[in-house]
A and B are shown apart, each in its own frame.
Chain A
Amino acid sequence: MRREPLLNATVFLGLLAVPLWAWAVDEPFTITLATRVAILALAGVGLNLALGLGGLVSLGHAVFFGIGGYAMGILASHAQSYSALIEWPVLIEGTKSMPVIWLVAMGASGLAALAIGALSLRTSGVYFIMITLAFGQMFYYFAIGWPAYGGEDGLSIYVRNGFPGLNTLDPIQFFAICYVILGLALWVFSRLACSAFGLALGAARQNAERVMAVGIAPYRLRLVAFTLSGVITGLAGALFADLNRFVSPVMFSWQTSGEIMVFVILGGVARLFGPVIGAVVFIFLEHMLGGLSEYWHIYLGAVLLVVVLFARGGIIGLVAGRERRHD
């Protein structure tokens, strides 16, 4: 087990060192790749909370990623065109300020996660997987069918939103924002995992009956975990939209849900740095294999199959050994 903290520290510092090096030798594309890694890892940290700690196999986390993205897209597009979002009963205007957009994205995705969770958590197992997938698809078709914000074509934002005191158009400064947020999210995750709440959640994953027998309601634990998980993934969606300055219904698609899940699994489920390592490997594979062949998804599929069938516990499991059994 001692190898895992070492691996985590290496990866976390490496994720900082690579863009700093790229900044020094003026390679903005590499900085953008590292920013993508940080943002996708953040989305994975969100899912890992539900999937790893709570054992909730959600195939619909694209919903929260997309809501975060559209929160940014809608607010920024109104600010861009100087039109009000709502005029009645209160005047709400668009904004180009990142902190405000983040709050709205987190609030909206949290509400959505609360509603979807309240319905989906009535079921478990395969039903839960299928229902979260179906809710994701519902939002996807809604985003395609709603013409006010671009419909199928999506929304373009011409200038990246601002953060007080920073120039967000400078790749390294935008990377710094994403990196700090990722660090904060990882800290929250590690605190949660060893809090009373996290322990109860893990217990409910292992044996819901025993948890109920000591007087804790698994449904409420899971609902809170699912909502928090949605909030984090929603924030990642807002950052991702800002990175690309573009949002489209693709953010809601089931492939997005699948990819977020792949980060978590590739790295290692329920491991603190699982999603980070998964996102690093995913982006690396995408970059390397994408250069080799147009059909790189075949190789990705093969890698994923091998990991699932033979390397249980993901990459962290391979390097640092299987997690100790607590039961």
Chain B
Amino acid sequence: MSLILFIEQILNGVQFGVMLFLMAAGLTLIFGVMGLINLAHGSLYMIGAFAAASVAGLTGSFGLALIASLAAAAAAGALIELTVIRRLYDRDHLDQVLATFALILIFSEGTRWAFGSFPLFLEIPPYLSGPVTLPGGIEYPLYRLAIIGVGLLVAAGLFALIARTRIGIQIRAGESDREMIAALGINISALYTTVFALGAALAGLAGALIGAIQSVQVGMGEPVLILAFVVIVIGGIGSIKGALVGALLVGLTDTLGRVLLPAVFSQFMAPQAASSVGASLASMSIYILMAGVLVMRPSGLFGKA
């Protein structure tokens, strides 16, 4: 395999990882602050993608589409937090899983009802399409590079928000002692709604950005949701840093595994068998990675033991 192809694949892995981080960051924040497991996070991703695709279809502006995805997902997030999710904070995980599973059913079928079963398409804007030449003569799609940039920017912003701002202090305090910060006069239910809407907006943004590469369709969120779960299990639940490291690990393992494993097997197997065995194993590689991390550290790389 040539070096250029290898570097391209590494970039693809980073791009995938950065998108997973946007999903995983919201999930891990919501779990860290409210102790809630939210299966409906994938639906918020889908809502972001659908909002972006419809606004882009109406106005033709990609920038407006991104803003719409953030707004729609945040609004949907705030709405379900106010109506359903807030009744679940005191419940056990089983009730949380079921209620958010019910929300997935409602959102997925509702979207199918409103938009139909056919996928929508979100065009990459002209100023972001086409390849760009990187140092070393590597040609790489500009849009994917932009995704990496946006993702890293959001990650930096999130770290700054949590480390430097007043709301960040409240979030960190909420993670360590919920009753105490309520006793200190912080409006805890407003804080919960804000955190939930923030996580939802990040998921919506990820959905819109990925929607321009893949098709926008019902059920697009759940595979990503499950990968985001793998990410936060690897990184440690509640840790933003863990989510970033876990997301990059998962993104790189998945992308490189798909390219490298069939090549490795073709060294000592017939090409056809090698590609099928390699592909099957590659699709399992991130779960094997997760199992390996768990054997060594049951609460994840950055989790509190």
B258 to chain A minimum Cβ distance, whole angstroms, is: 11
Q: Which of A144, A265, A297 contacts B98 (CB 8 A)?
A: A265
A271 to chain B minimum Cβ distance, whole angstroms, is: 14
Q: CB-CB < 8 A to A296: which residues of B?
A: 109
| A308→B102 contact, CB < 8 A | yes
Taken residue by residue from 264 to 284, chain A's Cβ proximity to chain B (1 for < 8 Å, 0 otherwise) reads as 010001000000000000000
A274 to chain B minimum Cβ distance, whole angstroms, is: 13
Q: How far is the CA of A16 from the CA of B232 in the complex (A)?
A: 46
| A309→B84 contact, CB < 8 A | yes
5 closest residue pairs by CB, A with B: A301-B105, A301-B106, A304-B102, A138-B287, A141-B283
| A126→B237 contact, CB < 8 A | yes
Taken residue by residue from 128 to 144, chain A's Cβ proximity to chain B (1 for < 8 Å, 0 otherwise) reads as 01110111011001101
Q: How far is the CA of A295 from the CA of B84 in the complex (A)?
A: 21
Restricting to B103-138, which residues have a CB under 8 Å from any CB of A? 103-106, 108-110, 112-113
Q: Which of A137, A258, A301 contacts B287 (CB 8 A)?
A: A137
| B280→A305 contact, CB < 8 A | no
B94 an interface residue at 8 Å Cβ cutoff? yes
A-B contact pairs, 13 of them (CB 8 A): A119-B291, A126-B237, A130-B37, A130-B229, A130-B233, A131-B233, A138-B284, A295-B110, A301-B102, A302-B102, A304-B105, A305-B99, A305-B103
Q: Looking at the complex, which of B173-181, B205-213, B293-301 is the stretch in contact with chain A?
A: B293-301
A141-B284 in contact given A126-B237, A261-B97, A261-B98 (Cβ < 8 Å): yes
Count of interface residues, chain A, beta-carbon cutoff 8 Å: 41
| A298→B109 contact, CB < 8 A | yes
B43 to chain A minimum Cβ distance, whole angstroms, is: 11
Q: How far is the CA of A127 from the CA of B304 in the complex (A)?
A: 13
| B280→A131 contact, CB < 8 A | no
| A146→B102 contact, CB < 8 A | no
Q: CB-CB < 8 A to A57: which residues of B?
A: 93-94, 97
A59 an interface residue at 8 Å Cβ cutoff? yes
Interface of B, helix, strand, loop or mixed by DSSP? helix
A203 an interface residue at 8 Å Cβ cutoff? no
Binding site for A on B (CB under 8 A): 31, 37, 84, 87, 93-95, 97-99, 101-106, 108-110, 112-113, 222-223, 226, 229-230, 232-233, 237, 276, 279-280, 283-284, 287, 290-291, 294-295, 298-300
Q: Which residue of A lies closest to B229 (CB)?
A: A130
| A134→B280 contact, CB < 8 A | no
B261 to chain A minimum Cβ distance, whole angstroms, is: 11
B262 to chain A minimum Cβ distance, whole angstroms, is: 11
A122 an interface residue at 8 Å Cβ cutoff? yes
A145 an interface residue at 8 Å Cβ cutoff? yes
Q: CB-CB < 8 A to A125: which residues of B?
A: 93
Among B84, B106, B222, B290, max chain A CB count under 10 A is at B106
Q: How far is the CA of A275 from the CA of B26 in the complex (A)?
A: 34
Q: CB-CB < 8 A to A119: which residues of B?
A: 291, 294-295
Q: How far is the CA of A141 from the CA of B285 in the complex (A)?
A: 11
A183 an interface residue at 8 Å Cβ cutoff? no
| B109→A309 contact, CB < 8 A | no
B238 to chain A minimum Cβ distance, whole angstroms, is: 10
Q: How far is the CA of A131 from the CA of B29 in the complex (A)?
A: 19
Q: CB-CB < 8 A to B222: which residues of A?
A: 254
| B105→A265 contact, CB < 8 A | no
| B226→A127 contact, CB < 8 A | no
Q: How far is the CA of A131 from the CA of B293 in the complex (A)?
A: 12
Q: CB-CB < 8 A to B229: which residues of A?
A: 130, 133-134
A217 an interface residue at 8 Å Cβ cutoff? no
A147 an interface residue at 8 Å Cβ cutoff? yes
Q: CB-CB < 8 A to B87: which residues of A?
A: 309
B117 to chain A minimum Cβ distance, whole angstroms, is: 10
Restricting to A35-94, which residues have a CB under 8 Å from any CB of B? 51, 57, 59
Q: How far is the CA of A90 from the CA of B98 in the complex (A)?
A: 46
Q: Which residue of B lies closest to A145 (CB)?
A: B280
| A298→B113 contact, CB < 8 A | yes
Q: How far is the CA of A298 from the CA of B106 in the complex (A)?
A: 4
Taken residue by residue from 253 to 266, chain A's Cβ proximity to chain B (1 for < 8 Å, 0 otherwise) reads as 01000100110010
Q: CB-CB < 8 A to B300: which residues of A?
A: 127
A10 an interface residue at 8 Å Cβ cutoff? no
Q: CB-CB < 8 A to A59: which residues of B?
A: 97
| A295→B109 contact, CB < 8 A | yes
| A133→B109 contact, CB < 8 A | no
Restricting to A277-323, which residues have a CB under 8 Å from any CB of B? 295-298, 300-302, 304-305, 308-309, 312
